[in-house]
Amino acid sequence: MSTRTAPSTWSRALRSATLRRIAVVVLAVLLYQGWLGFQAIGKAEPGLEDAPDERGRFDVDVVLGFVPERYHILQLQNHGRIAGTDDTVVHLRGVSPAGVDALAREYWIEALVAPEPE
């Protein structure tokens, strides 16, 4: 008479190569999202959201480490109106608070600053 019991569902799942691969991919995605959130801290200049317009939106200067290409301009247009560029700075108008947060999470953006008064 054998006293061995059937393997539990968890032990079978841990031996499954497919489930281990899925777990690795899920872990990689979670780590990447965590890194994006961590690197976003401090990207927005203090006081950036102090002076909203009548619709609760902001003017933001997006500082890049390179001259923006078409892709970058199109991505920035998802968050506000392009008011022009100066070398590595793109001037955005009408950015919502959620847009500021989304911009800060982009790894290719170096800083978000309030535009200088004209």
pLDDT digits (tens, 9 = 90+) for 84-115: 999 999 999 999 989 988 999 898 999 999 88
Measured between alpha carbons, how far is residue 112 from residues 5, 15, 40, 94 in Å?
A: 61, 47, 10, 14
Binned at pLDDT 50, 70 and 90, residue 1 comes out as: low
pLDDT at 30 > cutoff 70: yes
- Give the sheet arrangement for strand 58-64, strand by strand: 81-86, 89-95, 58-64, 109-113
Point out the least confidently predicted range of 9-13, 56-60, 79-83: 9-13
- pTM tops 0.75, yes or no: no
- The burial class, CB within 10 Å (0-12 / 13-18 / 19+), for 44 is buried
The string of pLDDT tens digits covering residues 55-73 is 989 899 999 999 999 999 9
pLDDT at 116 > cutoff 70: yes
What is the structure's pLDDT at 2? 54
What is the structure's pLDDT at 3? 58
